[in-house]
Amino acid sequence: MADIQLEDPHFIAKLRQGDPAAFGQLVKGHHNMLLATARTMLSPADAEEAVQDAWIAAHRAIAKFEGRSLLRTWLTRIVINQAKMMLRKRGREIQFDPTNDPDALAHRFHGDGHWQHPPQHWELSSPENLLTREELRRCMEKHLHFMPDSQRLVLELRDLQGLPADDVCNMLEISASNVRVLLHRARARLFEMVDHFQETGEC
Amino acid sequence: MLKCQHLVEKADALVDGSPISRRERFALRLHLLMCQHCRRYVRQLRALLGFLPREEKPLDDARTEAILKKLDASRDHQSG
């Protein structure tokens, strides 16, 4: 819903003309999503500050938004840049080298590339499993927290925000193949986690 | 024939619509027809993406106001 409105040319025209009500709608509808992105890189308090600064930067620049990218991409790029500045201030940066972390599913295969430990059958969709699903969600959040920053960030941008792969490459300044590998590693970790949860009932 | 491990490495494109060649897509589909473990993997990978904790709630009015106020303050600061 919010997206249809966000990319609507009339809405964008209003934003560019400096319509305060339109900017208010933009903040209301998208702040939490942008905050979720910033939180993949920063502490909660720093993430709040980075997104606040991003709104200030976006407000100054919106008149010059030319619609060459999605508005969502444009906003996310501003947030990523603010978050990177914040990281630099803290003397940190995100390492995007995907070879740092092994593939979480690699040990499940024989040397010949066939399954040695195939996936369990997951029973998560039935309504009586609501409690299990709540536990699973908590477990997932824990694993997301301990995931390498680069994987969490790419997962957030691609699978949660649904941004196009090309846009993600550009805003993170990494190659398409690195985005692909990081996303695969992130998903493989979570797949492994859910499979373990399904088998043992433990996180 | 395509190995299971290779399918798992390439299956991301099947679930998120990333571009792959027609030839590669055909090889993946063919493997899935014959391999129930890999069919399960792909089905559950899709389910997994649906379980990710999403943040889609709009911001409440009070906090929206607070952010807009800071925008005004920064603009006044800039012009003054």
CB-based contact B49 A159, cutoff 8 Å: yes
CA–CA gap between residue A166 and residue A146 (Å, rounded): 26
Here the tokens at position A134 are 């709540």
Q: Which residue of A has its CA nearest to B16?
A: A159
Confidence (pLDDT) at A97: 85
Confidence (pLDDT) at A33: 95
If residue A4 lies in a helix (H) or strand (E), which one and from where to where? helix A2-6
Band (pLDDT 50/70/90 cuts) for residue B80 is very low
Give contacts of A109 with chain B, Cβ < 8 Å: 4-5
Give contacts of A158 with chain B, Cβ < 8 Å: 16
CB A161 within 8 A of CB A37: yes
Residues linked to residue A115 through DSSP beta bridges, in sequence order: A109
Question: What distance lies between CA A159 and its chain's CA centroid?
Answer: 7
Count of CA atoms in the C-beta half-sphere (13 A) of A85: 11
Residues 6+ away with beta carbon under 8 Å from B13? B19, B20, B24, B25
Residues of chain A with pLDDT under 50: 1
CA–CA gap between residue A108 and residue A67 (Å, rounded): 46
CB A155 within 8 A of CB A141: no
Q: Which residue of A has its CA nearest to B64?
A: A28
- Quickly list DSSP for B15-52: HH-----HHHHHHHHHHHHH-HHHHHHHHHHHHHHHHS
Over residues B28-62, the pLDDT tens digits come to 999 999 999 999 999 999 999 988 988 788 999 99
Q: How far is CA A50 from CA A36, A56, A57, B40, in A?
A: 11, 10, 10, 41
Confidence (pLDDT) at B65: 96
Give percent helix, percent strand, percent coil of chain A, each to the nearest 5: 70, 0, 30
Q: How far is CA A143 from CA A34, A53, A139, A140, in A?
A: 21, 29, 6, 5
Confidence (pLDDT) at A147: 94
CB-based contact A28 B47, cutoff 8 Å: no
Q: Which amino acid is at A34?
A: L
Mean pLDDT across chain B: 90
CA–CA gap between residue A122 and residue A191 (Å, rounded): 11
Q: Is B16 in CB contact (< 8 Å) with chain A? A: yes
Question: What distance lies between CA A122 and its chain's CA centroid?
Answer: 25
Confidence (pLDDT) at B77: 66
Residues 6+ away with beta carbon under 8 Å from A102? none
pTM of the complete model beyond 0.90? yes
ipTM, 2 dp: 0.90
CB-based contact A36 B37, cutoff 8 Å: no
Confidence (pLDDT) at A4: 55
Q: Where does A62-96 have alpha helices with state H?
A: 71-89
Name which of A187, A192, A195 to mutate to probe chain B: the one with the most chain B Cβ atoms within 10 A of its Cβ.
A187
In angstroms, the separation between the Cα of residue B2 and the nearest Cα of chain A is 9
Give contacts of A187 with chain B, Cβ < 8 Å: 12, 45, 48-49
Q: Which amino acid is at A190?
A: L
